[in-house]
Amino acid sequence: MSNSTVLQKETSKVHEEVIEANRKYVSEFGKKGELALPPARSFTILTCMDARLDPAKYAGLSEGDAHVIRNAGGRASDDAIRSLIISHKLLGTKEFFVIHHSDCGMALFTDQIIRNLLEKSLKTATVDSSGWKNKEESGGSDEARFISFLTFESLEKSVVDDVKRIRNHPLIPKDIPVYGYFYDVKTGKLVEVEEATKIGRAS
C-alpha cells in the first residue's frame, strides 16, 4: 500500500469530523476526568452495535453511570460474558440489562449465508429481494467457517436465549438480576420480554 493511500484514508471527511468533534468535547470536558473507574449506578447494559441505538439516551446515562457492552445483535457471546464477569467481579456492578432491538440486521442472514459470501469476497455485500450477493467475487477466505455469527430468527427468543445463557453461567452470581428487553426502533420504547426477565430473576 502506498503512502498516499494511507494518507487519504487518514484524512477522510469522517476522520476530520471525528477529530474536530473531539476537540470540542475536550474544550467542554470539565471535571469528567475526576470520574471514578467503577460505574456510579452499578449496572451494565448488553446491547447491539446498531447505529440507531443510543443507550445514553434510551436509558438516561451520563458518563460514569454504567457499563455498556456492544456487539452485533447484543448477543451473550463468550466475549460479552467475559466483560460481564469483569464488570461485576472487579468493578462492582449489581444488575444486568440485555437489550436487543426490532429490525435487527442479525435476523436478515444466517451463518451459512455470510460464510458463503466471505468465502468468495471480503468486499461489502448487497441485498435485494433475491437475497444477499457479492458485487464482485475475488479475494475471499474460508476462515468464517470457524466463527459463530450468532444470528437469530426470533427477536424475543434471542433475548430469552441470551438472558438464560448469562443466568446459567457458572461465573455469574445468582444474586444478580438479568433483565430482558428489546428496543423498538420505530418508537424508542424499551419493551420487556417477560419470559426473559423471569428467567433472569435473582435468587
- Whichever domain contains 65, its CATH number is 3.40.1050.10
Confidence (pTM): 0.91
Q: What is the pLDDT along the chain (203 residues), one digit of tens a residue?
A: 445 455 555 678 999 999 999 999 999 999 999 999 999 999 999 999 999 999 999 999 999 999 999 999 999 999 999 999 999 999 999 999 999 999 999 999 999 999 999 999 999 999 999 999 999 998 999 999 999 999 999 999 999 999 999 999 999 999 999 999 999 999 999 999 999 999 999 99
Tell which residue, 122, 144, 146, has the closest CA to residue 135: 122
Query: Is-contact 181 195, C-beta < 8 A?
Result: no
Known binding-site residue numbers for Zn(2+): 48, 50, 101, 104
Q: CA-CA distance, 135 to 138, in Å (whole number)?
A: 10
pLDDT score at 60: 98
- Residue 2 covered by a domain: no
Q: Which residues pair with 190 in a beta bridge?
A: 183
pLDDT score at 1: 45
Instruction: Compute the radius of gyration of the chain from its Cα atoms.
Output: 20
pLDDT score at 11: 74
- Residue 53 covered by a domain: yes
pLDDT score at 65: 98
Task: Count the domains in the chain.
Answer: 1
- Residue 117 covered by a domain: no
- Residue 165 covered by a domain: yes
How far is residue 48 from each of residues 55, 65, 71, 145, 185, measured CA to CA in Å?
10, 19, 5, 23, 12
Query: Is-contact 46 66, C-beta < 8 A?
Result: no
H helices within 39-193, ranges in order? 55-58, 78-89, 111-120, 155-168
How far is residue 103 from each of residues 19, 75, 112, measured CA to CA in Å?
31, 15, 20
pLDDT score at 2: 46
- Residue 95 covered by a domain: yes
Which domain, by its residues, includes 160? 32-109+151-200
Known binding-site residue numbers: 48, 50, 101, 104
